[in-house]
Amino acid sequence: MKYFLYSKNYIICQTESETFELESGKVSKLKEGGFVNVYPIEKGFLPFFFKVGKKEVFRNEYLKKIEYPKFLMLEANPPINFSPLFLKGKNFKDYTVCLIGKPYKLLVDHKLNHFVFDCKDNIKNIDFYEKNNLIFMKAILNNDDYTVIFHKKSGKFKEFIGDFTMSENKITILKDKHTFFRHGELKTYEIQEDKISLTLSEPVYLNGKPAQTAPFLNHIAFFQAVKEKDYNLAKMLLSKKFAQQVSPKTFEQFFGKFDEIKPIIDCGENKIALIKKISSTHSTARLFQVKILGTQIDDIFED
């Protein structure tokens, strides 16, 4: 088994024989059986170490693992040094709400009752307000609206990512799936006396129709359409001969379910890794090679 290490953050790694820097997005091959000490450069993260072996890395909670057919990709995920730093807060009569972190935690206090919600990382432009029987935290997460609602009657939180609108007792969320064709998801919720219930969920195009894509990105756009179960759109990217050989059932059986699409350039060949999450720290990947004829996909086979 081959092992590779990468990190989204800048880290320094120390092995028995060398010390090296690993910049964001860079990859380093590891020697099986050795030990690796990881030292994060950014503040707020703690160092950790691991032994390079299959059993050992799968036991380590600070490594994210993606199993490829012939190698194991490890992502350094250093532990966060929790800081109860007060970020923002507000009082609403006998309710007090505040955000502390990192990691971000939303706290709501009501008399002797305390409620806690773990928020997503990297949120900004935080604000609080109250309406009816609800307390809202509005923020921005990676250019998307990020909303957390605390329902006073039930004492429960509800998290929303996407364009947020609310009228009377109805919430509408339009979520951007970030595909080249501009796939989206429209959801509506009903605010009830004791809960917030989903009433509608349907796929949409954010532009009202599929957006145009650059031909050299067709191999990625194809898998994005398959992931969204937009099979008719996916077939439009295939050559006429290839499209006659496949159907929605073919897509489902051949590709199965996957959570992430990762393009890979290998010796000039277009390859796609379809990644399926097993847990928060464990994923598996299947590799597919895409044959392009002109601007259309003429064949796809598992690598």
pLDDT of residue 64: 97
Tokens of 251: 């897509």
pLDDT of residue 265: 72
| Range name among 2-16, 74-88, 208-222, 265-279 with the lowest pLDDT average | 265-279
pLDDT of residue 188: 98
**Between these two residues, 116 and 82, which has the higher pLDDT value?**
116
pLDDT above 90 for 228: yes
Residues 80-91, mean pLDDT to the nearest whole number: 89
Does the structural domain 2-76 have CATH classification 1.10.260?
no
| Whole-number percent of the chain with pLDDT over 90 | 82
pLDDT band of 268, cuts 50, 70, 90: low
Edge-to-edge strand list for the sheet holding 183-191: 163-167, 170-176, 183-191, 196-205
**Between these two residues, 167 and 64, which has the higher pLDDT value?**
64
Residues 139-161, mean pLDDT to the nearest whole number: 96
| Exposed / middle / buried, residue 223 (Cβ in 10 Å: 0-12, 13-18, 19+) | buried
pLDDT band of 84, cuts 50, 70, 90: confident
pLDDT tens by residue, 40-51: 998 889 999 999
| Range name among 82-96, 137-151, 201-215, 226-240 with the lowest pLDDT average | 82-96
User: What's the CATH code, domain 215-302?
Assistant: 3.10.450.590
| Exposed / middle / buried, residue 87 (Cβ in 10 Å: 0-12, 13-18, 19+) | middle
Boundaries of every domain in the chain: 2-76, 85-205, 215-302
Give the amino acid at 291: K
pLDDT tens by residue, 168-191: 899 999 999 999 999 999 999 999
Contacts 24+ apart (CB under 8 A), 33-36: 36/5
Average pLDDT along the chain? 94
pLDDT above 90 for 103: no
pTM comes to 0.87
The answer to whether 200 touches 173, Cβ cutoff 8 Å, is no
pLDDT tens by residue, 236-252: 999 999 999 998 889 99
pLDDT of residue 150: 97
pLDDT of residue 297: 95
- Give the integer Cα–Cα distance in Å for 80 and 74: 18
| Range name among 32-36, 51-55, 165-169 with the lowest pLDDT average | 165-169
3-state secondary structure of 226: helix
pLDDT tens by residue, 269-287: 789 999 999 999 999 999 9
Q: How many other C-beta atoms are found inside a 10 Å radius of the C-beta of residue 49?
A: 13
